[in-house]
Amino acid sequence: MRIFKTVAAMRDWAGTQRDAGRSIGFVPTMGALHRGHLSLIEPSTTERDRTVVSIFVNPTQFNRREDYDNYPDTLRRDVWDLLDTKTDVLFLPTPEEMYPDGQDGYDPPVSGLVTSIAEGVHRPGHFDGMQQVIERFLGIIQPSHIYMGFKDYQQWMIVEQLCAKRAPNTAVRVCPTVREDDGVALSSRNLRLSPVGRKRATVLIEALQMARESIGTEPFAELERQAMEHMRSQRGCEPEYFEIRDRHTLAEPAPDQVDDLVGLTACNVEGIRLIDCLVF
């Protein structure tokens, strides 16, 4: 596995691969790698000729400075984990490499419902920063495919639209959410939970499953209220939102809709912000 820290080296290598007719799979991450990340890398290494994994904690997508400063950093272990995969390149740029002209002035191509509900409401600016870094990566690497996790539901939807507009030669491959045995979605942020907090983090998937089982019995607003109530009833848990939406458009569902729904939720557990989703 090669490690590139400069955009120039990354760009050169990717160009050489494309010139030789090799397809590139790209897996963007913020590090603190876990089995969820590995579940994106694995299909890339079997489906594409070459695989690039990036580790970059992107400052422009954090709306809370403390969240950026406290983002887990386990680089040494991440490199060891990547050596056990068939990753060809680890791209490890600095913010200065990624944003040589500064971080301001980006005009994100994707807007509308997909960027403005749920995470869009609660993390203002997050999706603009996310689009900024993904568009920059796609320009440098020009992969045939970008591998994204289903868990970050709005994120992969936005990246699909971004590719259509700005990187039409890149397709998005969405991979299922990897969960612990108790249903908690793997997340780098779980590392910051105490053992008790980690157990309480089951409230997200419990709320999603409760809503899924009750679809059709009560109005959506009532199901959302009950899901919020369930999360709030657990000590140390402060839910931010619970939304049931049409899974394709993210519009509010028709009152009698029972299929093609997605539940989206964010909840702070011991002050750590966790998100999850489930299709119904």
- Rounded to an integer, what distance in angstroms lies between the CA atom of residue 89 and that of residue 202? 35
CA distance 215 to 279: 11
How far is residue 201 from each of residues 87, 140, 167, 189, 194, measured CA to CA in Å?
Answer: 31, 37, 37, 11, 10
Which position among 89, 117, 172, 185 is part of the footprint of ligand AMP (CB under 6 A)? 185
Please list every residue from 6 through 35 that binds ligand AMP, using CB under 6 A.
Answer: 29-30
Residue of 90, 95, 171 whose CA lies nearest to 133 = 95
Q: What is the rounded CA–CA span in Å between residue 237 and residue 234?
A: 6
Q: Which stretch binds ligand AMP (CB under 6 A): 64-72, 136-144, 171-179, 246-254?
A: 171-179
Place of tokens 């991979």: 175
# residues contacting ligand AMP (CB under 6 A): 17
Question: Closest distance between ligand AMP and the C-beta of residue 25, in Å?
Answer: 13
Q: Considering only residues 53, 157, 172, 186, which one is a binding residue for ligand AMP as defined by CB under 6 A?
A: 186
149 is a site residue for ligand AMP (CB under 6 A): yes
Our CB check for ligand AMP shows the closer of 43 and 236 to be 43
Q: Does 98 bind ligand AMP (CB under 6 A)?
A: no
The answer to whether 133 contacts ligand AMP (rule: CB under 6 A) is no
Measured from the CB atom, is 223 or 269 closer to ligand AMP? Answer: 269
Stretch that binds ligand AMP, among 11-19, 132-140, 149-157, 229-237 (CB under 6 A): 149-157
Return d(Cα 72, Cα 95) in angstroms, integer.
Answer: 17
State the nearest-atom distance from the C-beta of 254 to ligand AMP, in Å: 29
Q: Contact between 163 and ligand AMP (CB under 6 A)?
A: no
Residues annotated as part of the active site? 37
Rule CB under 6 A: say whether 36 interacts with ligand AMP: yes
What is the C-alpha separation between 53 and 31, in angstroms, rounded?
Answer: 10
Region of 62-70, 148-156, 210-218, 221-229 interacting with ligand AMP (CB under 6 A): 148-156
Q: Quick one: tokens of 223?
A: 């199901």
150 contacts: CB under 8 Å, gap ≥ 6: 156, 174, 175, 176, 177, 277
Count of residues for the chain? 280
Least distance (Å) from ligand AMP to the CB of residue 33? 8
Residue number, 118 or 223, with CB nearest to ligand AMP: 118
- Using CA atoms, how far apart are residues 80 and 30, in angstroms rounded to an integer? 16
Closest approach, Cβ 76 to ligand AMP, in A, equals: 17
- Residue 266 lies near ligand AMP (rule: CB under 6 A): no
Contacts of 143 (CB under 8 A, 6+ apart): 14, 23, 24, 25, 26, 48, 52, 170
Answer for which of 78, 119, 152, 243 binds ligand AMP (CB under 6 A) is 152
Where do contacts with ligand AMP occur on this chain (CB under 6 A)?
29-30, 36-37, 39-40, 148-149, 151-152, 175, 177-178, 185-188
